[in-house]
C-alpha cells in the first residue's frame, strides 16, 4: 500500500570560511560611454555568480546589468579571489565589488559636482544618470560624466577594493568565538509516498523557504534551490560510494552509482524569505550550499510520518526502508499478542 | 576507413580509425564540440545527438555505423537569423547552470517535440530521463521545454 | 642561392598534382556554426535598478547553442594527452615501478612518477597528499604514474604496460576502528585522529538533570561523490620565457596557482591559471589535481598536454562527501524546550585531510541546529582511513548534522506529542540569539522560514 507522509527539515548555514581569512579583491572600470568592466578572480561554476556580481556593480553605479561586462578567471588579469567555495561569492566577492564600484563612482561624482553646481556628497547614481539627491530633475547622463572624467579631467573612473569577512578566532578549549560574519536560514518541507510492500520512497512535493538576505537575482536563487534539492534527494535516497573488502570502489560509474534523474524530482515550490543583512552587498548573503542541507532531513521525517520507521543511516534505499518496516511490523505483532 | 554521412544537413566524409565513436568523430574531426564527454559509456546523456531524428548517445555509436545517415548536433539548431525556440526558452528561464548537460538535454527535448507537440510534464520528464544534470534539479529545464512546445504550437 | 626548381617546373608539378586529386585545392575548415550575432538583449538585463532583476546569464545563450567552451573543448597545435595510472590497492609500499614497456609503446612521448615532482605534496590545511604517490599508497585511487601520448587511447593503452610491485600493508577502513590505539596507522608515525574540535557552553550534565526527559540516538551518513557532469580537466603549456599556462577546470584559481607554484617549486608569477565556465563544481574542483603532472609532462615533451579525468578517475580519485557517525543526546522540558545537548561527531576523513578541518569545524558549530540551547557540548574528530579522500562538498558537514539533529528533533516531538512545526518554533533562534560559539546572531529568520514553508505546504490542512 502507498502511504503518504510529511516532514520538516530546518537549518542554518554560515557564509564564508571558518575564521580563516578568505578575501576577495575586485576592480571596476567605468568606460567612456558609461558602461563598465568588472575584473574578478572568481570563477563561474554554474551558479550564475558572474551575473550576480555584474548586477552588484551595476546597482552601485546606477546602470543596468547589461552595461557591465565581467572579466573573470585568469590569474594574469584578474585580482585575488578565494574562489567559488563556502557560499561566499555573493557576500564576500560581492562586497569587494561594491566597494570597488563605489570608488569609481566617487571619481564620477567629483567630476559631476561642479558641472551640476553641487557638492559630490549631494549626488547619487541611478538609471544611467548622476543626479542630485532629493532633486533628480538636476542630472547628467553617466556617459557624459564618464567622458568628461576620462578625457577632460584626465581622471579615469576606476576603483579597486578588497573585502574579508570580519571574524573572531575560536577558543581551542570551548570553541567560543565569532567564526563567521553571517548565517542564512531555511526550511524545507517534504511530502513523500512510501510503498510499504517494497520500501520504495517517492518524493512528491517539496516546499522550500530560504533566506539569502536580499535576492540579487531571484531566478538564479530559485535555480540554486531546485538544484540543491535534487542533490539532497540523491543524498537521502540513492547515492552511496561502495567499497569491497580490499578498499576498492565497486561502483565507480554512473551505471551503479545512482543519482537523481528528471524522474526523481518532485514538484517544488520555492519561497525566498524576505530579509536584509546590513553587512552584505545590498543586504545579500548567499544561497549556494544551504539549498542541499535540509532536504534529507525533511524526507526522512516524512518517511517516519508515512510508515513509522526512523531512518538512522543514509541513504534510505528501498531495501533499508522495507527491512525497517518488517522489523516494526514484527514488533507490533508481538505487542498485540503478549501471551507468549 | 572512410565514412560518408550528413552532418547538420551537409554531406561530409572522414577518414578515421574504425574504433572511432560518433562522439569522437564530431568533436575531433569536425570540431563540433557541443556534444560532451560526460562518461563515455552511455550513462549520462551529455553526448546526445540526433541520428535520423532519433536521440542517441554518440559515445556508444561507432562512426562506421553512420554510413549514409544523417546526424544533427546542437550546432545545427540555430541559423544566422534565429535561435531554436528551445534555445530561446532555456536562455530566458535560466534553465541551465553550468551548461554541460545542455546540448544533450536540448536535443532529447527536440526529438520529443517533433513527435509530440503537446507533451505533458511527465512526458517531458520521461524524454530527458537519460540526460543527467547535476546542477539544476531539472525543474527549469522541464518548464522551458513546456514553454518552447507552446511557442512552437502557436507559431509553427 | 640558386633555385633548384624553376618556376616552369613547379607549375607543371602543380598541374600534375591537381589532376591526381582536385580536392587538394579545398582548404580544410572547421564545421560551420551559425547563430544570430545581432541579438536582442532580454529585458530584465536592461532594467534599473539592477538588484532584484531576474537578469538572464550571459553564458546561458552560449550553453544552449553548445558554444560554451569547457577545457575539453579546447585544443592546441601539437597537443598530446595524459592518462594516470591508479594504485588499485588501498595500502601498500611501492617496491618497484617499471615503465620501460610503456615507454616503448607507439605514440608514448613521456612518463612521470612521483619522485620527479619537485615538491610532491599539497593540501589546503595539511600538505599530506602526494601529487603522485612515490613511496606509500594510502588509498586505491592514488595516482602512481602518468603517461603522455599522441592520443588518449594510446596513453590509456600504455597504462596497461606499467608494472608496479607492491608490498601489501594492512589497511583500515572503519573510522571508529581507526580511532583505536591498536589500529594500523594510515600515515605511519601520525595518529589516525588528525583533527578534533570542541564546543562547550553552559553545563550539559546539570542540564540533563534539570530535563523532563532525555533522548539518545546515533545517526550515520554515507560517502557521496560530487558528480559534476564535466570531469576534472586541464591543459598545460609552456612559453619560451619559462612560464607555464594552465587551462583548468579549477573553481579556485588564485589559491590553485599558489599550490601549483609550490609543487613545481616555481615563482607564482611564472604561472598563469586560466579557467572557463566550470562544468559543475559543488566543492569538488577546489583543489589542484593533475595540473602539476601535466605541467611537468609538457616540459618534458615541449608540447601542450591535456588531461581529462575519466568518470572512473572522478569517482576514485577526486574528493567526496565525508561519512559521519553522530551520537546525539538531548534533554528537554515538558513543553519541548531543549535544555541540554551533547553531540559526538566522527567523520571519516579518508586518506588525506583535504578540507576535513573546515568540514569538521562547520559540522561542529552547526550540529546543535538553528536552536537556542543553553547547555551544549560538542566533540568532533576527523579520522584517517584508507579510502578515497573526503573533502569540500556543498555544505561542509552541514547536510550530515542536519539529518541527525532534525531526525532527532522529530523523535522528541513525537514522544512529547508536540507538532513538529511547533517544537521547532519553540526552540528556533531569534534576532540576537547567541550561537553555540557565543556569537550574537543578526538577520535571523528561522521562524519566518518555518512559517513561510508551512504556509506554502499547507502544513495544518495537509491530509494523508
Ligand atoms: S558521454 Fe555518452 S552517455 Fe555519457
Ligand atoms: S547545468 Fe550543470 S549539469 Fe546540467
What pLDDT, in 10s, does the model give residues B4-25? 999 999 999 999 999 999 999 9
Tell me if C337 sits within 8 A of C408, measured CB to CB. no
Answer yes or no: is A176 within a domain: no
Considering the domain architecture, whether residues A144 and A259 belong to the same structural domain is answered as no
Indicate the residue of C272, C441, C457 with minimum beta-carbon distance to A207: C457
pLDDT at position A340: 47
Q: Decide if C398 and A13 are in contact by the 8 Å CB cutoff.
A: yes
Distance CA A54, CA A106 (A): 19
Element (H, E) at C58: helix C58-65
The string of pLDDT tens digits covering residues A20-72 is: 999 999 999 999 999 999 999 999 999 999 999 999 999 999 999 999 999 99
Q: Which of chain A's residues have a Cβ under 8 Å away from the Cβ of C358?
A: 17-18, 20, 86
Q: What is the mean pLDDT of residues A258-266?
A: 98
Element (H, E) at C219: strand C213-220
Considering the domain architecture, whether residues A330 and A309 belong to the same structural domain is answered as yes
Q: Which chains touch A (3 or more CB pairs under 8 A)?
A: B, C
Q: What is the CATH number of the domain that holds C418?
A: 3.30.365.10
Please determine, for residue A329, whether its predicted confidence score (pLDDT) is greater than 50: yes
Distance CA C74, CA C85 (A): 24
In terms of C-beta density within 10 A (0-12 exposed, 13-18 middle, 19 or more buried), how is residue C165 classed? Answer: exposed
HSE of B50, CA atoms in CB hemisphere, 13 A: 22
The string of pLDDT tens digits covering residues C165-197 is: 999 999 999 999 999 999 999 999 999 999 999
pLDDT at position C30: 61
Please determine, for residue B34, whether its predicted confidence score (pLDDT) is greater than 60: yes
ipTM field:
0.97
Q: Which of A260, A262, A292 to mutate to test the interface with B (most CBs of B within 10 A)?
A: A262
C13 CB neighbour count, 10 Å cutoff: 11
The string of pLDDT tens digits covering residues C149-163 is: 999 999 999 999 999
A169 Cβ neighbours under 8 A, 6+ residues apart: A19, A177
Q: Which of chain C's residues have a Cβ under 8 Å away from the Cβ of B8?
A: 31-32
Answer yes or no: is A19 within a domain: no
Ligand 1 proximity of B43 Cβ (cutoff 6 Å):
yes
Element (H, E) at C399: helix C398-416
> Cα of B98 to ligand 2 centre, how many Å?
5
Of A59, A191, A222, A289, the catalytic one is A289
| Structural domain boundaries enclosing A272 | 2-14+183-334
Q: Decide if B133 and C65 are in contact by the 8 Å CB cutoff.
A: no
Answer yes or no: is C91 within a domain: no
Considering the domain architecture, whether residues A190 and A266 belong to the same structural domain is answered as yes
Q: How far is CA C359 from the centre of its chain?
A: 13
Q: Decide if A10 and C286 are in contact by the 8 Å CB cutoff.
A: no
| Structural domain boundaries enclosing C407 | 184-225+320-463
> With bands split at pLDDT 50, 70 and 90, how would you rate the model's confidence at C42?
confident
Q: What is the CATH number of the domain that holds A226?
A: 3.30.365.10
A60 is catalytic: no
The string of pLDDT tens digits covering residues B62-100 is: 999 999 999 999 999 999 989 999 999 999 999 999 999
> Cα of A109 to ligand 2 centre, how many Å?
42
Name which CATH class applies to B2-76: alpha beta
pLDDT at position C19: 60
> Cα of B40 to ligand 1 centre, how many Å?
5
B69 at A interface, C-beta within 8 A: no
Q: Decide if B78 and C67 are in contact by the 8 Å CB cutoff.
A: no
Residue for cell digits 596507522? Answer: C185
Please determine, for residue C26, whether its predicted confidence score (pLDDT) is greater than 60: no
Q: How far is CA A302 from the centre of its chain?
A: 25
Ligand 2 proximity of B132 Cβ (cutoff 6 Å):
no
* Ligand with minimal distance to B103 CA: 2
Considering the domain architecture, whether residues A209 and A128 belong to the same structural domain is answered as no
The DSSP 8-state label assigned to residue B59 in this structure reads T
Name which CATH class applies to B85-154: mainly alpha
Considering the domain architecture, whether residues A287 and A264 belong to the same structural domain is answered as yes
Domain count, chain A: 2
Closest to C431 measured CA to CA, from C366, C372, C365: C372
Indicate the residue of B10, B99, B132 with minimum beta-carbon distance to C68: B99
Give me the residue spans of the domains in chain B.
2-76, 85-154
**Residue B3 CA: distances (Å) to CA of A44, B75, C25:** 39, 21, 21
Question: Which ligand 2 atom is the nearest neighbour of the CA of C63?
Answer: 1
Ligand 2 proximity of B101 Cβ (cutoff 6 Å):
yes
Ligand 2 proximity of B57 Cβ (cutoff 6 Å):
no
Answer yes or no: is A200 within a domain: yes
Residues constituting chain C: 464
Answer yes or no: is A131 within a domain: yes
Ligand 1 proximity of B39 Cβ (cutoff 6 Å):
yes
Ligand 1 proximity of B47 Cβ (cutoff 6 Å):
yes
Q: Decide if A126 and C388 are in contact by the 8 Å CB cutoff.
A: no
What average pLDDT does the structure give for chain C?
Answer: 94
Closest to A93 measured CA to CA, from C455, C98, C252: C252
> With bands split at pLDDT 50, 70 and 90, how would you rate the model's confidence at B156?
low
Please determine, for residue B108, whether its predicted confidence score (pLDDT) is greater than 90: yes
Considering the domain architecture, whether residues A229 and A89 belong to the same structural domain is answered as no
> With bands split at pLDDT 50, 70 and 90, how would you rate the model's confidence at C28?
low
Ligand 1 proximity of B55 Cβ (cutoff 6 Å):
no
Q: Which of B24, B33, B85 to mutate to test the interface with C (most CBs of C within 10 A)?
A: B33
Q: What is the mean pLDDT of residues A82-105?
A: 97
**Three-state SS for B87?**
helix
Please determine, for residue A93, whether its predicted confidence score (pLDDT) is greater than 80: yes
Please determine, for residue C49, whether its predicted confidence score (pLDDT) is greater than 90: yes
Please determine, for residue C1, whether its predicted confidence score (pLDDT) is greater than 80: no
Please determine, for residue C17, whether its predicted confidence score (pLDDT) is greater than 80: no
Distance CA A233, CA A215 (A): 24
Indicate the residue of C90, C394, C453 with minimum beta-carbon distance to A246: C90
Closest to C111 measured CA to CA, from C296, C309, C317: C296
Q: What is the mean pLDDT of residues C310-324?
A: 97
pLDDT at position C9: 75
Answer yes or no: is C280 within a domain: no
Q: How far is CA C207 from the centre of its chain?
A: 40
Portion 295-314 of A in contact with C at CB < 8 A: 295-298, 300-301, 304, 306, 310-314
Q: Decide if B100 and C33 are in contact by the 8 Å CB cutoff.
A: no
A59 at C interface, C-beta within 8 A: yes
Answer yes or no: is C393 within a domain: yes
C397 CB neighbour count, 10 Å cutoff: 32
Please determine, for residue C11, whether its predicted confidence score (pLDDT) is greater than 90: no
The string of pLDDT tens digits covering residues C135-146 is: 999 999 999 999
Q: What is the mean pLDDT of residues C277-297?
A: 96
Q: What is the mean pLDDT of residues C107-119?
A: 98
Considering the domain architecture, whether residues A33 and A7 belong to the same structural domain is answered as no
How many angstroms separate the CA of residue A178 from the nearest CA in chain C? 5
pTM score, two decimals? 0.96
Q: Which of chain A's residues have a Cβ under 8 Å away from the Cβ of C178?
A: none
The string of pLDDT tens digits covering residues A100-154 is: 999 999 999 999 999 999 999 999 999 999 999 999 999 999 999 999 999 999 9
The string of pLDDT tens digits covering residues C189-227 is: 999 999 999 999 999 999 999 999 999 999 999 999 999
**Three-state SS for A138?**
strand
Tell me if C409 sits within 8 A of C369, measured CB to CB. yes
List, as one string, the DSSP characters of A26-82. EEEEE-TTS-EEEEE-----SS-HHHHHHHHHHHHHT--GGGEEEEESBTTTS--B-
Domain count, chain C: 1
Q: Report, in angstroms and rounded to the nearest whole number, the Rg of chain A calculated over CA atoms.
A: 26
C432 at A interface, C-beta within 8 A: no
Answer yes or no: is C99 within a domain: no
Tell me if C334 sits within 8 A of C212, measured CB to CB. yes
**Three-state SS for C230?**
coil
Distance CA A101, CA A38 (A): 9
Amino acid at each position: 500500500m502507498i502511504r503518504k507522509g510529511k516532514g520538516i527539515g530546518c537549518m542554518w548555514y554560515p557564509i564564508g570560511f571558518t575564521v580563516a581569512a578568505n578575501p576577495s579583491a575586485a576592480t571596476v572600470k567605468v568606460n567612456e560611454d558609461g558602461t563598465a568592466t568588472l575584473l574578478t578572480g572568481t570563477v563561474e561554476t554554474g551558479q550564475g555568480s558572474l551575473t550576480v556580481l555584474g548586477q552588484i556593480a551595476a546597482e552601485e553605479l546606477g546602470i543596468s546589468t547589461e552595461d557591465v561586462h565581467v572579466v573573470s578567471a585568469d590569474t594574469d588579469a584578474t585580482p585575488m579571489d578565494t574562489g567559488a567555495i563556502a557560499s561566499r561569492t555573493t557576500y564576500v566577492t560581492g562586497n569587494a565589488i561594491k566597494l570597488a564600484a563605489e570608488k569609481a563612482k566617487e571619481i564620477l561624482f567629483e567630476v559631476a559636482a561642479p558641472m551640476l553646481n553641487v557638492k559630490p556628497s549631494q549626488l547619487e547614481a541611478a538609471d544611467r544618470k548622476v543626479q542630485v539627491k532629493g532633486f533628480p530633475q538636476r542630472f547628467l547622463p553617466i556617459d557624459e560624466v564618464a567622458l568628461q572624467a576620462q578625457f577632460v579631467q584626465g581622471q579615469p573612473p576606476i576603483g579597486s577594493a578588497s573585502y574579508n569577512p570580519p571574524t573572531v578566532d575560536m577558543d581551542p578549549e570551548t570553541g567560543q568565538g565569532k567564526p563567521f560574519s553571517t548565517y542564512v536560514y531555511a526550511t524545507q518541507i517534504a511530502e513523500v509516498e512510501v510503498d510499504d510492500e517494497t520500501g520504495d520512497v517517492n518524493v512528491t512535493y517539496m516546499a522550500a523557504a530560504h533566506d539569502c538576505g536580499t535576492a540579487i537575482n531571484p531566478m538564479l536563487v530559485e535555480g540554486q534551490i531546485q538544484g540543491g534539492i535534487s542533490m539532497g534527494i540523491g543524498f537521502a535516497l540513492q547515492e552511496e560510494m561502495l567499497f569491497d573488502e580490499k578498499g576498492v570502489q565497486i561502483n565507480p560509474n554512473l551505471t551503479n552509482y545512482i543519482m537523481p534523474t528528471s524522474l526523481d524530482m518532485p514538484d517544488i515550490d520555492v519561497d525566498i524569505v524576505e530579509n536584509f543583512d546590513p553587512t552584505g552587498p545590498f543586504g545579500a548573503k548567499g544561497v549556494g550550499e544551504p539549498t542541499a542541507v535540509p532536504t534529507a532531513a525533511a524526507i526522512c521525517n516524512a518517511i517516519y510520518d508515512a510508515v513509522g520507521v526512523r531512518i538512522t543511516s543514509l541513504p534510505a534505499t528501498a531495501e533499508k526502508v522495507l527491512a525497517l518496516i518488517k522489523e516494526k511490523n514484527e514488533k507490533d505483532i508481538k505487542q498485540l499478542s503478549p501471551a507468549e | 576507413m572512410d565514412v560518408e554521412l550528413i552532418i547538420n544537413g551537409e554531406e561530409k566524409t572522414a577518414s578515421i580509425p574504425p574504433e572511432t565513436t560518433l562522439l569522437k568523430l564530431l568533436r575531433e574531426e569536425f570540431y563540433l564540440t557541443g556534444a560532451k564527454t560526460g562518461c563515455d559509456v552511455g550513462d549520462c546523456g551529455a553526448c546526445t545527438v540526433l541520428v535520423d531524428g532519433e536521440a542517441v548517445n554518440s559515445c556508444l555509436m561507432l562512426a562506421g555505423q553512420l554510413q549514409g545517415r544523417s546526424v544533427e548536433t546542437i550546432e545545427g539548431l540555430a541559423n544566422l537569423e534565429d535561435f531554436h525556440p528551445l534555445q530561446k526558452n532555456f536562455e530566458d528561464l535560466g534553465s541551465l547552470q553550468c551548461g554541460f548537460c545542455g546540448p544533450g538535454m536540448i536535443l532529447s527535448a527536440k526529438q520529443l517535440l517533433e513527435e509530440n507537440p503537446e507533451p505533458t510534464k511527465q512526458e517531458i520528464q520521461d524524454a530527458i530521463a537519460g540526460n543527467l544534470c547535476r546542477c539544476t534539479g531539472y525543474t527549469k529545464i522541464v518548464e522551458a521545454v513546456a514553454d518552447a512546445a507552446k511557442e512552437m504550437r502557436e507559431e509553427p | 642561392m640558386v633555385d633548384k626548381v624553376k618556376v616552369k617546373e613547379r607549375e607543371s608539378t602543380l598541374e600534375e598534382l591537381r589532376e591526381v586529386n582536385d580536392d587538394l585545392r579545398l582548404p580544410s575548415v572547421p564545421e560551420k556554426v551559425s547563430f544570430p550575432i545581432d541579438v536582442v538583449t532580454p529585458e530584465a538585463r536592461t532594467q534599473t535598478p539592477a538588484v532584484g532583476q531576474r537578469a538572464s546569464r550571459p553564458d546561458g545563450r552560449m550553453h544552449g547553442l553548445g558554444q560554451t567552451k569547457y577545457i575539453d573543448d579546447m585544443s592546441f597545435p601539437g597537443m598530446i594527452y595524459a592518462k594516470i595510472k591508479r594504485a588499485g590497492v588501498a595500502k601498500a609500499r611501492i617496491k618497484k615501478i617499471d615503465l620501460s614497456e610503456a615507454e616503448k609503446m607507439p605514440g608514448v612521448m613521456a612518463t612521470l612518477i612521483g619522485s620527479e615532482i619537485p615538491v610532491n605534496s599539497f593540501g589546503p590545511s595539511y600538505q599530506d597528499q602526494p601529487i603522485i604517490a612515490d613511496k606509500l599508497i594510502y588509498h586505491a585511487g592514488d595516482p602512481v604514474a602518468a603517461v603522455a601520448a599522441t592520443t588518449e587511447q594510446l596513453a590509456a593503452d600504455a597504462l596497461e604496460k606499467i608494472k608496479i610491485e607492491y608490498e601489501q600493508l594492512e589497511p583500515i577502513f572503519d573510522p571508529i576502528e581507526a580511532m583505536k590505539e591498536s589500529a594500523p596507522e594510515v600515515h605511519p608515525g601520525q595518529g589516525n585522529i588528525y583533527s578534533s574540535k570542541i564546543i562547550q557552553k553552559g553545563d550539559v550534565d546539570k542540564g540533563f538533570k534539570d530535563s523532563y526527559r532525555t533522548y539518545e540516538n546515533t545517526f550515520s551518513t554515507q560517502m557521496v561523490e560530487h558528480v559534476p557532469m564535466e570531469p576534472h580537466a586541464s591543459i598545460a603549456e609552456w612559453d619560451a620565457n619559462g612560464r607555464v599556462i594552465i587551462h583548468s577546470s579549477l573553481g579556485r584559481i588564485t589559491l590553485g596557482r599558489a599550490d601549483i607554484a609550490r609543487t613545481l617549486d616555481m615563482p607564482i608569477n611564472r604561472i598563469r591559471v586560466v579557467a572557463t565556465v566550470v562544468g559543475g563544481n559543488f566543492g569538488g574542483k577546489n583543489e589542484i589535481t593533475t595540473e602539476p603532472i601535466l605541467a611537468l609532462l609538457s616540459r618534458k615533451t615541449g608540447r601542450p598536454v591535456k588531461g581529462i579525468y575519466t568518470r572512473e578517475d572522478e569517482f576514485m580519485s577526486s574528493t567526496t562527501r565525508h561519512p559521519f557517525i553522530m551520537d546525539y543526546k538531548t534533554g528537554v522540558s515538558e513543553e519541548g524546550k531543549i535544555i541540554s545537548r551533547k553531540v559526538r561527531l566522527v567523520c571519516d576523513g579518508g586518506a588525506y585531510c583535504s578540507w576535513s578541518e573546515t568540514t569538521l569545524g562547520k559540522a561542529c558549530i552547526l550540529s546543535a541546529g538553528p536552536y537556542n540551547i543553553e547547555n551544549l557540548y560538542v566533540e568532533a574528530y576527523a579520522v584517517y582511513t584508507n579510502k578515497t579522500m573526503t573533502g569540500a562538498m556543498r555544505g561542509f558537514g552541514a547536510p550530515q548534522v542536519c539529518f541527525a539533529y532534525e531526525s532527532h528533533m522529530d523523535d522528541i516531538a513525537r514522544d512529547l506529542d508536540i507538532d513538529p512545526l511547533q517544537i521547532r518554533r519553540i526552540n528556533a533562534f531569534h534576532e540576537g540569539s547567541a550561537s553555540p560559539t557565543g556569537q550574537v546572531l543578526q538577520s535571523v529568520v528561522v521562524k519566518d522560514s518555518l512559517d513561510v514553508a508551512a504556509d506554502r505546504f499547507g502544513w495544518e490542512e495537509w491530509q494523508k
